[in-house]
Structure 1
Amino acid sequence: MTDKLQAPASLPAETAPAPAWRRHALLLAKLAFMAGALWLVARHLDLPALGRTLRGARPGWLAVATGLFIVSKLISSIRLNHFFRAVDIRLPEGYNLRLYWLGMYYNLFLPGGIGGDGYKVYLLGRQFPGRRAVIFRALLLDRLSGMVALLVLLLLLFAGTSYSGWWRGGALALVPLGLGLSYGLGRWLFGPFRPAFGRTSWQALGVQGAQVLCAWALLAALGAAHGPVLPYLLVFLASSVAAVLPFTVGGLGARELTFLYGAKLFGLAPGVAVSVSVLFYVITAVVSLVGAFVRLGAEEPVSEP
């Protein structure tokens, strides 16, 4: 296998991207939404004060936040490999981790291209002929399991706030209901992956939990960890849901907008809330940039015996 850092010029018919004009139009729409969201956020903030807040962030806590974010990605990489192994696609953990980091780079920095998941389907489809469909389903299930864990933590945090009132019972009731529904749908739609469901569910919670701790470390870096932390973490999880939606490039703009209006809803400091969002995006970008230096050489095995 040769160096795979550059995206292929074309894909096989079954995984070919949309026409160039459509992809360009989609990218322009995302950029327009992102610019509009950031402009709206900027209108409601004291930008010099925001700059002072960011410059005053404590480096030690920023390092802790970065470490927790990396831990979340390591767990996420292992989780994806469990889905692959469930359908007999066996990748050495080292190779899988490098491929995962390369996918992070594509997802964040090359949103107009085939993206990280599309690249994995293309590359692994060449290594495992005839299995592109199951590879795609593994990646889809990986995303869905992460979203379920995210929503579970969101409901639990919402139930723990003093703002929820009579909604607290409803939020708690939705947790087992949602878990049961997701498990039933998973068995129905993703039957071949069933052996991996238990372990990957805990790993998905570990991923989201590590990112919640990352947000807490960012609050500590900003000197805001001694106040009402739970509402900030609740807004952080809500912003993670918003960032998953395909409206922006790398979630930039969607997170900030969610933090801005979430801060107004819960009576939080908007500058601190948006600062958490900006710092989290910077950490994501810096960590993902490591993928630009990943090489998948011909001497590296793809499948295990």
Structure 2
Amino acid sequence: MSRSTLTFLLKAVVSLGLLFFLFAEIDVAQLRRVLSSAHLSYLAVALLGYFSGQIICSLRWALLARPLGFTNPFKDFVIFYFIGMFFNLFAPSTIGGDIGRVFYLARGESEERAKGWNGSTGSALVSVIADRFIGFAVLAWIGAAALVVFSTYTLVPIIRYLTFALAAGFLFSWMLLPLFKRLLHRKKFLKGEKLLLGLEAYASNRQIIVQTIALSLIAHLIQAWMQILLGQALDVEIPWSYALIIYPLVGTFSALPISLNGIGLREGGYLFLLRQIDVSPEKAIAFGILWFAIVVLDSLVGGVVFIVRKSVRRSMIVSDIKDQARVRREE
């Protein structure tokens, strides 16, 4: 058995085990009633909200790729981003989607390659890592700030400490980037050449870092607002102050690489946190299910784009073959 297969099976066991435990704790019949009575209008708005948030994330990625030499039009980044989301549905973690983004950005849209960074797998990887880093850093900072500002909510101390530690860790690692850059220079790591060039590109374009942090803040606030919409869909009142807490905490918790796409962790996180504001276990689990359903539905947009792109490319190849055959016959 390969290592990847074993990892997949272990994550599947964790997800299935968590779901079995959670469903054993609730009234499944009541859960079905809660889901069937959800207000579709709020879910539709949440679906559009998530879609718009991913468009903003695509813009963030595009801005981070520009200093590295990528000149693709913005629509390419949107397409690649949504295809990556689609790949995430079938990968045991979000890394699968990131690999897809790297592949498409590095390959580009045409056979012609510009000099320097463009078309480079290494530079595409740097752009995706930077995109991930900034996105998670801002998410952690929002969670930590919300826990400080809205400290009246009763949460176990370990959650606060871990959130503060994560936020501080991102800030500390950001401060260490100049030291890391000097280390790469001094040691002359060949494999770190692209990363070094990326750090230097971002250091000379700091306004892009500020812009991408702002875009991350907007995208995360949209998704925090979606927590309120999902609550209204289930007749649950979630204050803005608590939405700014549960979204970062559940988002960070479900990103742990110990389950399949956060399945089980996400639902357990919502169950624990929504219980703190007296939400029934059935509605809390339904909340997690609906959130995942919205992610899946928006990710399927990437699947449609992926299939259409493959069909178009196949048609272009067939057309080229026919044209070449016709030219040969005429000769």
Shorter chain as denominator, the TM-score bin is 0.7 to 0.9
Residues 1:139 and 2:128 aligned together? yes
Deviation at 1:182, TM superposition (A): 4.8
Larger deviation: 64-73 or 183-192? 183-192
Contact kept in structure 2, 1:70 and 1:287, CA below 8 Å: yes
TM-score (norm 2): 0.74
Q: Give the root-mean-square deviation of aligned CA atoms.
A: 3.2
Deviation at 1:154, TM superposition (A): 1.0
Deviation at 1:255, TM superposition (A): 0.2
- Measured against aligned partners, the alpha-carbon deviations of 1:70-126 in whole angstroms (never above 9, x if no partner) come to 111010011011111021112111111111111100012344898221122233333
TM-score (norm 1): 0.80
Residue 59 of structure 1: aligned partner = 40
Residue 217 of structure 1: aligned partner = 229
Q: Percent identity?
A: 24
Larger deviation: 236-245 or 261-270? 261-270
CA distance in 2, matches of 1:268, 1:113: 29
Deviation at 1:290, TM superposition (A): 1.4
Residue 195 of structure 2: aligned partner = none
Deviation at 1:133, TM superposition (A): 1.8
SS of equivalent residue, structure 1 residue 57: coil
Please tell me the residue identity of whatever aligns with 2:218: G
Contact kept in structure 1, 2:53 and 2:223, CA below 8 Å: yes
- Measured against aligned partners, the alpha-carbon deviations of 1:278-302 in whole angstroms (never above 9, x if no partner) come to 1010000011011111144558xxx
Please tell me the residue identity of whatever aligns with 1:121: V
Match of 1:96 among 56, 77, 84: 77
Residue 274 of structure 1: aligned partner = 285
SS of equivalent residue, structure 2 residue 81: helix
CA distance in 2, matches of 1:148, 1:290: 27
Residues 1:184 and 2:175 aligned together? yes
Residues 1:38 and 2:19 aligned together? yes
Please tell me the residue identity of whatever aligns with 1:285: V
Larger deviation: 47-56 or 280-289? 47-56
Residue 58 of structure 2: aligned partner = 77
Please tell me the residue identity of whatever aligns with 1:140: I
Residues 1:150 and 2:127 aligned together? no
Residue 162 of structure 1: aligned partner = 152
Please tell me the residue identity of whatever aligns with 2:235: G
Contact kept in structure 1, 2:225 and 2:240, CA below 8 Å: no
Residue 207 of structure 1: aligned partner = 219
Please tell me the residue identity of whatever aligns with 1:56: S
Deviation at 1:183, TM superposition (A): 3.7
Deviation at 1:47, TM superposition (A): 1.4
Contact kept in structure 1, 2:142 and 2:244, CA below 8 Å: no
Residue 283 of structure 1: aligned partner = 294
SS of equivalent residue, structure 1 residue 247: coil
- Measured against aligned partners, the alpha-carbon deviations of 1:185-207 in whole angstroms (never above 9, x if no partner) come to 45555342232211000111111
Deviation at 1:271, TM superposition (A): 2.2
Please tell me the residue identity of whatever aligns with 2:172: L
* More contact order relative to length (CA 8 Å, sep ≥ 6): 1
CA distance in 1, matches of 2:94, 2:144: 34
Larger deviation: 278-287 or 52-61? 52-61
CA distance in 1, matches of 2:163, 2:282: 31
Residue 23 of structure 1: aligned partner = 4
Q: Which structure has the larger Rg over C-alpha atoms?
A: 2
SS of equivalent residue, structure 2 residue 247: helix
SS of equivalent residue, structure 1 residue 109: coil
Larger deviation: 39-48 or 116-125? 116-125
Residue 123 of structure 1: aligned partner = 104
CA distance in 1, matches of 2:284, 2:270: 6
- Measured against aligned partners, the alpha-carbon deviations of 1:192-236 in whole angstroms (never above 9, x if no partner) come to 2232211000111111111111111000111112x6564455233
- Measured against aligned partners, the alpha-carbon deviations of 1:20-45 in whole angstroms (never above 9, x if no partner) come to 81211111111111101111111111
CA distance in 2, matches of 1:84, 1:199: 13
Contact kept in structure 2, 1:27 and 1:112, CA below 8 Å: no
Deviation at 1:179, TM superposition (A): 7.0
